[in-house]
Chain A
Amino acid sequence: MNGDLRVAIEADADLVEARAAARRLATSLGFSRTDATLIATAISEIARNIVVHVGRGTITMRALVEDERRGLQIVAEDNGAGIRDVEAALDDGYAGRGGLGLGLPGARRLMDDFEIDTSPERGTRVTMKKWRVRDELERLRDRRRNER
């Protein structure tokens, strides 16, 4: 279906391109406008993280095609020094640091799956996915189309 879409994130302006690409892909996968906005929001937050903490990185998007659902996978990678304490980075500090729930923890809540792989040698890779369940009617139409 769709190949990987890769956007280099080097400056704040690159966020716009990543958001637009994600929105297009989300729409082509049948996500609602609202979901597309949530996906664009999650991308903005992780891209901002890259720009602020590391300076540069990439965001790669991919369509996930399964019979019962469609998904959009976003992988954000950088070659920075890694996140020392992932648990703390994902804790938005309602208790202590006066965090607001933006940033990584915010992005995590907007998506269905969220994983962080980080080390000082390899940098950080955030993989997040949003899923959309396909109903019976949609699958039926698909099968009919394929039969023709």
Chain B
Amino acid sequence: MMRAQFRSRYLAAFATFMLDQSEQSLRAAYELGRDAVKDDFSVLEIAGAHHQALALALAESAGEDAPSVCTTAGEFLVEALAAFEMVQRGSSDARRAAFVERRNARMLRQLSALLADESLAAGDRDSLEEILQVVAEHAREMTGARAGRVRVAVDGGRAPWIEVRSESGDDETWSEVLQPREPPAAASPSEPSAVRVPLLSLDGSPLGSIQVEDGQTGEFSAADEAVLTQVAQMTAAAIERAIAYS
């Protein structure tokens, strides 16, 4: 559809609606807007066409019932813009999703670089704590959680566990290192506001787990779980490397 053609269709449909104010005419307005979206017209095109149509209608009415002409014209305009509204909502969703994806890709790269750093491969307890701290912070941030925790059993569960918690409040974030005596309880389905993924060694034996809790936007999504799984794979490899050096 050419722009000139669009404009003449708009003027004709508008004139019909001003006469009959029928659902049929409103639907024509909706279809015009929908076609404009499909043909990639700017919303300004509708504004231009509408202004021209309204000016003609006002000239014809000779100013006698200008308020009612404007009200009726407004109903037509809203219908013509409905398809733009629908698409606009979609593009806001897409922009938000793209923002999260870009941020997570950047953080995964960053985490991967940090975990590959040789200084973390010293194999002592300090470097292991450092690994866990970096992981807990990244896991929390990437999933938009208020709390992230990583627990690792250093020696097949015989040695004390190391757990690092990272939390964020309104303005600040902090983390702490704990030494729980017991392994974490199995992830319970009664905690829908938490996601836990296992840390598995190359031969499949359990090393520990990563858990995020209390999402800022409610429950966690499948995308959050996928990101966490990727983080877990990187982390497990880094832990194994660190332990191998020790």
Contact = CB atoms under 8 A, between A and B. Distances in A.
A, B from the same assembly:
yes
Interface of A: 15-17, 19-20, 23, 33-34, 37-38, 40-41, 44-45, 92, 94, 100-102, 105-107, 109-110
B83 interface: yes
B57 to A, nearest CB: 19
A19 B94 contact: no
Nearest to B92: A109
22 contacts: A15-B27, A16-B24, A16-B27, A19-B26, A23-B23, A33-B75, A33-B78, A34-B78, A38-B82, A45-B86, A92-B94, A94-B90, A100-B90, A101-B87, A102-B37, A102-B86, A102-B87, A105-B90, A106-B83, A106-B86, A106-B87, A110-B85
B27 to A, nearest CB: 5
A126 to B, nearest CB: 16
Given A101-B89, A102-B37, A106-B86, A37 B23 contact: no
B16 to A, nearest CB: 13
Nearest to B97: A94
Contacts of B94: 92, 94, 101
Nearest to A44: B30
B119 interface: no
Contact of A110 (B37, B75, B89): B89
Contacts of B34: 102
B103 interface: no
A40 B24 CA distance: 12
Contacts of A15: 27
Interface residue SS majority, chain A: helix
B93 interface: yes
Interface residue SS majority, chain B: helix
Nearest to A92: B90
Nearest to B38: A100
Contact of B87 (A20, A34, A100): A100
Given A41-B30, A41-B83, A16 B90 contact: no
B75 to A, nearest CB: 7
A109 B30 CA distance: 17
B23 A101 contact: no
B213 interface: no
A101 B91 contact: yes
B89 A37 contact: no
Nearest to A42: B86
Contact of B27 (A19, A34, A38, A101): A19
Contacts of B163: none
A123 B26 CA distance: 30
Given A41-B85, A100-B37, A109-B90, 11 more contacts: A20-B23, A37-B79, A40-B79, A41-B30, A41-B82, A101-B89, A102-B37, A102-B38, A106-B83, A109-B86, A109-B89
Interface in B46-105: 75, 78-79, 82-83, 85-87, 89-91, 93-94
A56 B85 CA distance: 27
Contact of A44 (B27, B90, B91): B27
Contacts of B83: 41, 102, 106
